[in-house]
Amino acid sequence: MTEAQAESGKRKRGAKKAPPRFSREQADVRRAMLIEAAARCLSVGGIGAFTVDRICKEAGVSRGLINHHFDSLDSLLIEVYKSSLYASVNAHIVEARQRRVTNADWPPEEALVALVRSNFSPVYFSRANLLIWLSLWGEIAVNPRLQAAHSELYNAYRAELAEDIAAVARSRGREVDAPALARNFIALVDGLWLEWCLDATVVTPEGAEAAGFEMLEARVGPLRKG
């Protein structure tokens, strides 16, 4: 072997491997794109439009990409459910928990108000989300995997809401059944969502938010400033 050949071999052995064609970030973007496309199909055509072919057409991708990111349509349906109906609420839950840990002086009323208002933010309290919810309501009753995901998300949300309600009540010396009040609040929000979806003249998002606060304030006292 000549000296030049030996030097060339060293350079090749020392060369860095080429980066993978698709990075983890790109994979996450593609996965989110599929979830968004699936959500659009569900909001426009209901559960009957939630098919691989329809989603592929909406996303402009091949069937292989869906199979790569999701092991079944049920898995994709669960992700749509999480992103459309619980993303905003869960973000506020995480924020509230972090602030309780880092700021012992943070008023409990602020955590409760933020969580209540997250139900009525424009991103969350939207017609598209309402149509997705209507599509999924019947499916939850007959789909064990979706039912399990719903129970996990609902129970976590109700527990956080009850904790925030109880914290406000304690700080004010009030006796309340926080878990029951949390359940009733969630049921009220669901009913208001349904009313708004069926007839937008019956209730507005602002009116729905006010009704939610009124229910809680009747038991724990004023929450809204001004």
pLDDT digits (tens, 9 = 90+) for 37-48: 999 999 888 899
Lowest mean pLDDT among 58-72, 96-110, 141-155, 203-217: 96-110
Please give the pLDDT value at position 21: 46
Q: Where in the chain is the domain with CATH 1.10.357.10?
A: 82-220
What average pLDDT score do residues 162-168 get? 94
Please give the pLDDT value at position 148: 94
Mean pLDDT of the chain: 84
Lowest mean pLDDT among 8-17, 27-36, 212-221: 8-17
What average pLDDT score do residues 92-105 get? 75
CATH no., domain 22-70: 1.10.10
Please give the pLDDT value at position 22: 46
Q: Where in the chain is the domain with CATH 1.10.10?
A: 22-70
Please give the pLDDT value at position 25: 54
- Given pLDDT bands bounded at 50, 70 and 90, which one contains residue 164? very high
**Between 138 and 56, the higher pLDDT residue:** 56
- Given pLDDT bands bounded at 50, 70 and 90, which one contains residue 171? very high
Looking at domain 82-220, what is its CATH homologous superfamily? Tetracycline Repressor, domain 2 (1.10.357.10)
Lowest mean pLDDT among 9-23, 105-119, 211-225: 9-23
What average pLDDT score do residues 75-92 get? 82
Q: What is the pTM of this model?
A: 0.78
Q: Give the type of residue at 147.
A: Q
Q: Give the type of residue at 219.
A: R
Whether the Cβ atoms of residue 79 and residue 40 lie closer than 8 Å to each other: no
Given a cut of 80, whether residue 216 has pLDDT beyond it is yes
Please give the pLDDT value at position 7: 55
